[in-house]
Amino acid sequence: MRVLVLNGPNLGRLGTREPDVYGSATHDDLVALCTSTGEQLGLDVEVRQTDHEGEMVGWLHEATDLGAAVVLNAGAWTHYSIAVRDAAAQLRGPLVELHISNVHRRESFRHHSVLSDIATGVLAGFGVDGYRLALEWLAKQP
């Protein structure tokens, strides 16, 4: 199974951005975790990060064309980007919406997601380990 792990704005700053909220793991650590987990599970995993909404939309279109599964941490776009939602709604493979922090224990504007109703599943609050959990779940899908 091909899996694109797509990370949105500010996630390239992991390890330095609010470590009390997001932990000390860097984006490079996250890439290594996803890559090694994917290898162990027999998944073809590619991890990407962008701060540009149009680039994310293009990646979601690519995933649709490939029939790939997607683990999506859309960051702030989760709460307002109809463009990202519309692109994600086209996916033919499973979509896992992922948040490193528990967004429901944070500011009220983070409690709403424009993605959750189209996601196959949602993981929040497990730190970067949520990526491993998402990949393990995807590996069990037919």
Q: What is the pLDDT of residues 81-93, one digit of tens each?
A: 999 999 999 999 9
Which region among 18-22, 31-35, 57-61, 71-75 has the lowest average model confidence (pLDDT)? 18-22
Is position 131 annotated as part of the catalytic site?
no
Catalytic residue among 99, 111, 112, 131: 99
The CATH number given to whatever domain includes residue 19 is 3.40.50.9100
For residue 20, what are the contacts with CB-CB under 8 A and spacing of at least 6? none
**Is 100 annotated to bind ligand?**
yes
* CA nearest to 26, candidates 38, 8, 12: 12
Which helix (H) or strand (E) segment holds residue 139: the answer is: helix 129-139
Burial class (CB in 10 A: 0-12, 13-18, 19+), 35: middle
Q: How many domains does the chain have?
A: 1
Give percent above pLDDT 90 in the chain.
85
Q: How confident is the model at residue 5 (pLDDT cuts 50, 70, 90)?
A: very high
Which domain range does residue 112 map to?
2-139
Q: How confident is the model at residue 16 (pLDDT cuts 50, 70, 90)?
A: very high
**Is 110 annotated to bind ligand?**
yes
Q: What is the pLDDT of residues 47-59, one digit of tens each?
A: 999 999 999 999 9
